[in-house]
Amino acid sequence: MIIELPVRFTSDTEALHEWTTLHLEISKTAFLLVDCTFENPPESGVGEVIRQMLVPALAVVREVEMKPIFLYGGDRGAPHAIASELHGIRRGVTRQVSPWPLPAPEWVPGLAPQDGDAVIEKCGQNGFRATQLEAYLRSHGIETLLCAGFSFKSCLFYTLVGAFEHNYRVVFLRDGTHPLGENEFRDTRNEALEEKGWVRLVLTRLIEDQVGYSSTCAALIQACRALIK
């Protein structure tokens, strides 16, 4: 069964974007969710993305029998880890060391793994580094990853790059991560931009130019529903 997904990429012409349609064999395509472990998603922002985009997308992906993959965890807050220095110690914050083994994550209702789904613990920001993700994808013949989750400028972005480096076709779902204007630095927010911030603008362009394509959860839902009718 083939899904027809409209995607965007960087143009070589004066236009900013070009569009095409990828004809993806469902058995060779996976829906990759990065760090979607929220016991109680917030009422706005990320919570709205989860409720309005990710939960419906996961439901329709299951209907067409596309494989979902759940990545979670990564930074354990170890006292001598560089991540602890960068995200805690140098700001005067002592990060709590996670227990070993890591407890099972809390999942949002409607966005939780089912029996048989791949649930893979990350070992840092890049979901491909020192994990079972590559082995799982190869053993199941996956060639294309439709990717969503959090944080866009951290774990999701580095996992997208890792997927490209492992020779997977990458599709970033733009409405499946932080809303526009969020996940920015204080001095990178810009309401004049379509993306509402320079971080979102630059990283999205890099993905569309150097890593793969972008699309949306809305387009994925529509493409899957076209097969269900």
Q: What is the 3-state secondary structure (H, E, C) of the chain?
A: CEEEEEEEEECCCCCCEEEEEEEEEHHHEEEEEECCCCCCCCCCCHHHHHHHHHHHHHHHHHHCCCEEEEEECCCCCCCCCHHHHHHCHHHCCCCCCCCCCCCCCCCCCCCCCCCCCEEEECCCCCCCCCCCHHHHHHHCCCCEEEEEECCHHHHHHHHHHHHHHCCCEEEEEHHHCCCCCCCCCCCCECCCCCCCEHHHHHHHHHHHHHHCEEECHHHHHHHHHHHHC
HSE-CB at 223 with a 13 A cutoff on CA atoms is: 24
- How confident is the model over 85-124, as pLDDT tens digits? 666 667 666 666 666 666 778 888 889 999 999 999 998 8
Instruction: State the architecture of 2-228 in CATH terms.
Output: 3-Layer(aba) Sandwich (3.40)
All residues at 6 or more sequence positions from 79 whose CB lies less than 8 Å from its CB, including other chains: 97
pLDDT tops 80 at residue 201: yes
**Average pLDDT for 66-86:** 76
Q: Of 40-44, 76-80, 144-148, 176-180, which gets the smallest average pLDDT?
A: 76-80
Return the percentage of the chain with pLDDT > 70, whole number: 85
Average pLDDT, the chain: 90
- How confident is the model over 133-168, as pLDDT tens digits? 999 999 999 999 999 999 999 999 999 999 999 999
Return the percentage of the chain with pLDDT > 90, whole number: 73
pLDDT of residue 165: 98
pLDDT tops 90 at residue 192: yes
Confidence of residue 73 (pLDDT cuts 50, 70, 90): confident
Closest to 133 measured CA to CA, from 171, 165, 97: 165
pLDDT of residue 229: 73
Between 221 and 98, where is the model more confident? 221
**Average pLDDT for 203-213:** 97
Name the amino acid, one letter, at 59: A
Single pTM value for the model: 0.91
pLDDT tops 80 at residue 81: no
